[in-house]
Chains A and B, each alone.
Chain A
Amino acid sequence: MSTTLDDSQWPLWEVFVQEKTGNPHEHAGSVHAPDAELALQAARDVYARRGPVVSLWVVESARIVATAPADAASFLEPGPEKIYRHPRFYSGPKTAKAGPKAAEKK
């Protein structure tokens, strides 16, 4: 191995933790690591030692495709007149917990 790095840090990895089976993996933060196995171990040491965690994901930050802030207006803001796109007219069964409302309540 003879890779030269511009700075002394290893590549950055984003860490996602799942606290309960069935829950979504949520972004917890990031770690530096030379490869996937050490990224998982670093993620475990930094983000999984204190709380209950059932699963960890790591993904190289460079692999994430993201929107640019400048694009936000045309890309992400929904038109206010298209209310039919928002499924707010239905009352679901009380036992159903999934969906954005359940997430908001947390």
Chain B
Amino acid sequence: MNASVETLLELADDRLVLGHRLSEWCGHAPILEEDIALSNIGLDLLGQATRLLELAGAREGRGRDADSLAFLRGPTAYRSCLLVEQPNGDFARTIVRQVLFDAAALPELERLARGDDAELAAQAELAAKETRYHARHTRDWFVRLGDGSDESHRRMQAALDALMPFTAELYAGRAEPRAELEALAAQATLELPEDPPYPASGGRRGVHSEHLDHLLSEMQCVARAHPGAQW
């Protein structure tokens, strides 16, 4: 069975919002090579989002293309999970957010790549290939910084404690992300916090934090100020 428009929007919006967050590092990363690495990951996610939005628009059949879905929907129409809209914070927080996201994204893409929705499977296969590299890069940092200096360890643990509560709707009760993260955290000498009794959720229903409002107003301002502009 083919994926619904709603499912495609969830997949696309996660990547669009996270990709935009990573693009905010451009010119600000701790070192040039990492600036390029984060921008590359952001661009990959933006590409994945564009293809998913095209497919969502086509299946919806109301004449909306990737641009109109990206730039002309307000925050309540966005289906991204709460994790990806969390601000970049310091480098530790950005790395932890990415590792938490990939822990769910990679198994999900691999599942979709084997699924019977042929169009989505083709996209998922490409996206899984890209995501395997993203995970290699950010998991490397995760272990290094967790098992690094006192300060890097403290920042990583703080980021993990702060962001873990936002993973519930992304992990959707599946066991594999947490199992993967337990192993990774042990390697990084970090402690994976328990799942909170009342985890934050709402993104999939369009109930977001104010962080997404600010992100979208920046991302959409040019397209909204100049409707139909070509560049």
Chain A positions within 8 Å of B, measured between CB atoms, are 1-2, 8-10, 31-33, 37-38, 41-42, 44-46, 49
Inter-subunit contact B149/A1 (CB<8 Å): yes
Inter-subunit contact B33/A42 (CB<8 Å): yes
B23-73: which have CB < 8 Å to A? 31-33, 36-37, 40
Give the shortest distance, in Å, between B37 (CB) and chain A (any CB): 5
- Candidates A1, A8, A42, A45; contact of B148 at CB < 8 Å: A1
Inter-subunit contact A42/B149 (CB<8 Å): no
Chain B positions within 8 Å of A, measured between CB atoms, are 31-33, 36-37, 40, 133, 136-137, 140, 148-149
B33, closest chain A residue (CB): A42
Inter-subunit contact B149/A33 (CB<8 Å): no
B147, closest chain A residue (CB): A1
Inter-subunit contact B36/A42 (CB<8 Å): yes
Q: How far is the CA of A103 from the CA of B101 in the complex (A)?
A: 46
| Cβ–Cβ < 8 Å partners of B36 in chain A | 42, 45-46
| Cβ–Cβ < 8 Å partners of B37 in chain A | 41-42, 45
| Cβ–Cβ < 8 Å partners of A49 in chain B | 40
